[in-house]
Every structure is written in structure tokens, then in C-alpha cells.
Amino acid sequence: MSVQKATNIHWHAGNITREERWAALKARGCTMWFTGLSASGKSTIASALEQHLVSRGVHCYRLDGDNIRFGLNKNLGFSAEDRAENIRRIGEVAKLFADSGCVALTSFISPYRKDRDLCRELHEKDKAGASGGGGMPFLEVFVDTPIEVCELRDPKGLYKKARAGELKGFTGIDDPYEAPLKPELVLKPERMSVEESVVACLDLLAARGVITR
Ligand code: ADP
């Protein structure tokens, strides 16, 4: 858990509220948080959803596992502590995107429940956040693909390496995955096409007033 290091810092609220920004931009921000095992389909579904939303003119941006580790989180590894910090930073960044009026799509294994819950809390309790107003929607989407299916897909050969003992602390093999207890949406890719998963996500966004259908 990270601590506040700096002292003598003061929050500057700015001149407009979140509601004023969203109304002027005709946008509603939120974070859609995809979680699930490696190769469960998070990136595939989030990318297809992003493509659909952008083609409709919805301001949307995808934050993706490995990509973030090339930049913002390049100094973090896969220990429990580093995984927690990885997710905390992504939660904070997604929250800023959402606050700006963007639909932030995050696709990270995010295996630990408490790390995801912290990100939810960051969003839902952000009343005095960057521009005031109430909290923001945090929509947890569990991409529920059985490990046997993920392992058969193994697009990056990571399960094979983990089984061979060449990769330590791999989620689902020798590191736990804690499934969400109350996700807003559960996708079952072994019996849903990518398109069907996208439609389920769009339905959820519409039900929460983020987009119109
Ligand atoms: P993750 O981001 O969870 O690690 P990826 O999206 O990178 O997973 O990989 C999932 C793999 O499973 C891709 O190769 C994708 O084409 C494949 N796949 C097959 N069927 C589906 C489906 N119904 N939904 C999502 N992905 C699927």
C-alpha cells in the first residue's frame, strides 16, 4: 500500500465541476474494468468494444496490461507488492480518464480482490475529486474463461512456460486468481462470441446511462 510522501500540498479544485465538463462535452465518463485469467479474452473484447464505441463517436480509451508495463509501470514486476502498485496506478489513471468524460476500458488480470476493490473505491468515493461532484461508475467485468480453455489458447506461450517452471508466480498456476464476488457483468467467452460479449458490455453501459442505444 502506498503512503502519502509529500507534505505541504493542497488540492486545487479548478473552476468547473465534473458535471459541467461532462454536460459541455456531451460525454459521461466511467471505468469498465475487465478482469480474468491470462488469455481469457480481456484485450480481445475490450479492443472490439473500443472500436465500436469510437466508431459511434464515444470518447473511449483502452489501458492494456503489457502496454502500461512498457511505460508508466516499467519499474514494476510481478511480486504481490508490485502487482498491487501496478493496479493502484492503473486505477488512478483510469479514474482521471473517467473524470475527463472518457469511457476508460482497462484490461489487466488484476488477480487480487482487494486491489480491484481499492480501484472501485477510488472511483465511487471520488466526491471531492478533480472537479467535485459525486462518484463515478466503476463497472467490473469478469471475463470468466476456465483455465483449461486459457491454457489451450495460450497465445503468448506463457502457460507452457509456467508449467515447465520457467515462469514463477503465474496467475492460475502458482499464483491465485480471486474471482470477483459481485461483478457488474460476467462474460463467458467459451460460449459467447466476441460480438456477443461486446453487446453485453454495451447493454451495461446503456443501463448505467453512460451511452444511449
Ligand atoms: P487476455 O487479454 O485476457 O490475456 P487476449 O484477448 O489477449 O486475452 O487473448 C484471448 C485469446 O482468445 C485471443 O487469441 C482471442 O482471439 C481468443 N478468443 C477465442 N474466442 C474468444 C472469445 N469468444 N472471446 C474473446 N477471446 C476469444
How far apart are alpha carbons 174 and 79 in whole angstroms?
12
Q: From residue 190, how far is each of 65, 183, 193 by CA, in Å?
A: 22, 18, 8
Q: Which atom of ligand 1 has the smallest separation from the CA of 45?
A: 25
Q: For residues 20-39, give the mean pLDDT.
A: 96
Q: Which residues are catalytic?
A: 107
Among 38, 44, 194, the mutation site with the greatest number of ligand 1 atoms within 8 A of its Cβ is 44
Query: What interhelical angle do 113-124 and 80-99 show, nearest 10?
Result: 20
104 pLDDT exceeds 80? Answer: yes
Q: Which residues line ligand 1 (CB under 6 A)?
A: 36, 38-45, 107, 153, 155, 189, 192-194, 197
Burial label for 188, CB within 10 Å (0-12, 13-18, 19+), is middle
Residue 66 is predicted with a pLDDT of 81
Overall residue count recorded for the chain in this entry: 213
Task: Specify which residues 35 forms β-bridges with.
Answer: 142
Whether 14 shows a pLDDT value over 90: the answer reads no
Q: Which residue has the higher pLDDT, 11 or 151?
A: 151
Q: What is the mean pLDDT of residues 25-29?
A: 95
Quick one: which atom of ligand 1 is closest to the CA of 155?
14
Residue with the nearest Cα to atom 25 of ligand 1? 41
pLDDT tens figures, 123-176: 999 865 545 557 899 999 999 999 999 999 999 999 999 999 999 999 999 999
Binned at pLDDT 50, 70 and 90, residue 199 comes out as very high
- Predicted confidence (pLDDT) per residue in 41-91, tens digit: 999 999 999 999 999 999 999 999 888 999 999 999 988 899 899 999 999
C-beta of residue 103 within 8 angstroms of C-beta of residue 58: yes
Question: How high does pLDDT run on average in the chain?
Answer: 93
- CATH number at 26-207: 3.40.50.300
Domain ranges of the chain: 26-207
Pocket perturbation via mutation, ligand 1, pick of 153, 154, 170 by most ligand atoms within 8 A of CB:
153
| Phi and psi, residue 143, nearest 5° | -90, 95
Task: Give the chain's end-to-end CA distance (angstroms, integer).
Answer: 40
pLDDT of residue 9: 84
